Amino acid sequence: MNRLKALKEFGQSIWLDYVQRSLIASGELGRLVAEDGLCGVTSNPTIFEKAITGSRDYDKQLQAILAGNTRAEPATLYELLAVQDIQMAADVLRPVYDITAGADGFVSLEASPHLAHDTGGTLAEVRRLWRAVGRPNVMIKVPATPEGIPAVETLIAEGININITLMFSLRHYEAVARAYLSGLGRCAAPERVASVASFFVSRVDTVVDRAIEEIGTRQALELRGKIAIANAKLVYRRFREIFDGEAFSPMRRKGARVQRPLWGSTGTKNPAYSDVLYVEGLIGPDTVNTLPPATLDAFRDHGQASRATVDEAWDKAESCLEQLKELGIDLTAVTERLQSDGVAAFAASYDQLLTALSEKRKTIIARHLDQQSPGVREE
């Protein structure tokens, strides 16, 4: 059996953490769905920045937009390009959505990272993007910042599918789960809403390993590469407690779905670790793992999916975090900083993208004007 498809046997969906126009138009995305059992796609400003500035896939659409409106601002250009990609990808994944009765087959589009600390702005942006894409199998991404959490509750109550992102700690997760449950309680049709809680993994090891290596003792070094998965496993345990417990029972009877944990940032950053470390260690029911292309290829080639792993050795996970605390490493401080840095990184990518689109806009308009100018005839 295809190794990626084998993950489905344990209740896990695989999504692709990447989107580009050529991936969709070439039929490659459809092939991934058919052959690898791909069930979704995620995007973010960094992904779009690389796709749009690193290829010519979008030049024809840009030319067409600017032919009709030379004053179109870079933010408008980006949104038009991104929305079309999301619509195209959602259409490819629509059969998955239909076959699973709306449980899977989603494509995610992120609200502007500059609104991460603006509840009202996030609400307006998400509502507008939801209408602009116009597909039932889209999720709009909202960060799990203190200002994003109340927006999530309101949007879930309105029946909008939300992917809550940039979560790094159990505290982040619990706030997101509460917002989802509260939103469902106010939703007229809770059975129609879908949501995932995107919990970032490898970035935790990147930062914590650095602190561990600075300490340098044998006890400390034994924890390298273990904290991120331990952190995620304890979030999964809390997920099971919440959604298998009484708090969710009334919503379950109304047909509501659990808010699945989605493991994000699962590409291995440290070359000393297995390139499928954050896939093999987090296999389990009611989860999603969104993989960058290289990790997807690696798991297809040599990944192992012989059992559920996310719901085992919770006591060892607790022990790892306790040992980290004894070393004087404050995981709470680390995860708060990671969330803040994540917002800043996405905002920087967004700004770089707008700058690049501004330059492309100038080039296209100048070329258009040159073509309209009459040539000088020689006598």
* pLDDT tens, N- to C-terminus, the chain (379 residues): 799 999 999 999 999 999 999 999 999 999 999 999 999 999 999 999 999 988 989 999 999 999 999 999 999 999 999 999 999 999 999 999 999 999 999 999 999 999 999 999 999 999 999 999 999 999 999 999 999 999 999 999 999 999 999 999 999 999 999 999 999 999 999 999 999 999 999 999 999 999 999 999 999 999 999 999 999 999 999 999 999 999 899 999 999 999 999 999 999 999 999 999 999 999 999 999 999 999 999 999 999 999 999 999 999 999 999 999 999 999 999 999 999 999 999 999 999 999 999 998 998 888 766 666 555 444 3
Q: How many CB atoms within 10 Å of residue 87?
A: 17
Tokens 């699962």, residue? 266
Catalytic residues: 141
**275 CB contacts (<8 Å, ≥6 apart)?**
268, 294, 295, 298
Which pLDDT value is given to residue 378?
A: 40
> What are the DSSP calls for 19-30, one per residue?
--HHHHHTSHHH
Q: How many angstroms separate the most distant Cα atoms in the chain?
A: 90
Cα–Cα distance list, 350 to 21, 54, 64, 82, 355 (Å): 18, 14, 22, 12, 9
Residue 370 is predicted with a pLDDT of 64
Question: Does the domain made of 3-368 have the CATH classification 3.20.20.70?
Answer: yes
pLDDT of residue 144: 98
What per-residue confidence (pLDDT) applies to 377? 42
CB 176 within 8 A of CB 196: no
End-to-end alpha carbon distance in the chain:
74
pLDDT at 247: 86
Q: How far apart are CA 168 and CA 184, in angstroms?
A: 23
Give the three-state DSSP class for 188.
coil
